[in-house]
Amino acid sequence: MTKASFIPLAGHRKHSSDEMRSRSRGYNEEMQRRRTVRDFSDQPVHRDIIENCLRVAGSAPSGANLQPWHFVVISDPVLKQKIRIAAEEEEREFYRHRAPEEWLQALEPLGTDECKPFLERAPYLIAVFVQKYALLDDGRKVKHYYPTESVGLATGMLISAIHHAGLVSLTHTPSPMAFLNDILGRPRKTERPFLLLVVGHPDKQATVPDIQRKTLKDVATFV
Ligand code: IYR
């Protein structure tokens, strides 16, 4: 057993209510500009920018602070092509056979289909893995708690960091995604792909679907 040990909360910054109002408004304005983008430019992005965004993701809260995530950053064109081929194969099945009519109807406003050229064109794909447990060097397993929730939180923070940096992303979930373990050499026993995040600059001609966000009233209740 490791005993709890505490240090002062040194990182907290106190602001006046006016400052907090202005900061929260500014952050909301910034985040409302975020859109999921499918039209990527092939313009390169410096690796250190992605590294900073991943540091943000790694600061997410997690069950028992076990940080049950792993991010594989893919820029190698050969790997990107392999991933595109495998993903499009699954997507073809999904759109032509597997998806129930109701699901296809829900996707209609997004205009998605089985073609995923962005998987090769965007400078980075980030494969996010959930670690169900950690495997110690001596072969013992350490159980992770709320791993899926934790990785969801980390991924949300990654998406906002990427947006804040001035880049765009797409949350892509080919289903099933186990081909990512094989292509990227990640252990199937302990790790499950969570999603594939496509990251880069938007194409000059990029368009996005004309869809709306729910209002605060729709999504929140104060009691
Ligand atoms: N994985 C498919 C289908 C798809 C599913 C959902 I839920 C979306 O929000 C968008 C797409 C695809 O990526 O096309």
Residue 24 in domain? no
Structural Rg of the chain based on CA atoms = 20
pLDDT in tens, the chain (223 residues): 689 999 999 999 999 999 999 999 999 999 999 999 999 999 999 999 999 999 999 999 999 999 999 999 999 999 999 999 999 999 999 999 999 999 999 999 999 999 999 999 999 999 999 999 999 999 999 999 999 999 999 999 999 999 999 999 999 999 899 999 999 999 999 999 999 999 999 999 999 999 999 999 999 999 9
The confidence score (pLDDT) of residue 45 equals 98
Residue 223 in domain? no
Say if ligand 1 is within 6 A of residue 104 CB: no
Residue 152 in domain? yes
The closest-lying atom of ligand 1 relative to the alpha carbon of residue 175 is 1
Q: Which of 91, 112, 119, 197 to mutate to test the pocket of ligand 1 (most atoms within 8 A of CB)?
A: 112
Nearest CA to ligand 1 atom 2: 174
Residue 12 in domain? no
The domain that holds 93 is classified in CATH as 3.40.109.10
Identify which of 194, 172, 190, 143 has the alpha carbon closest to the alpha carbon of residue 80.
172
Residue 44 in domain? yes
Residue 73 in domain? yes
The confidence score (pLDDT) of residue 180 equals 98
Domain count, the chain: 1
Find how far residue 59's CA is from the centre of its chain. Answer: 14
Q: Which domain holds residue 67?
A: 37-204
CA distance 170 to 36: 5
The confidence score (pLDDT) of residue 40 equals 98
Residue 195 in domain? yes
Residue 174 in domain? yes
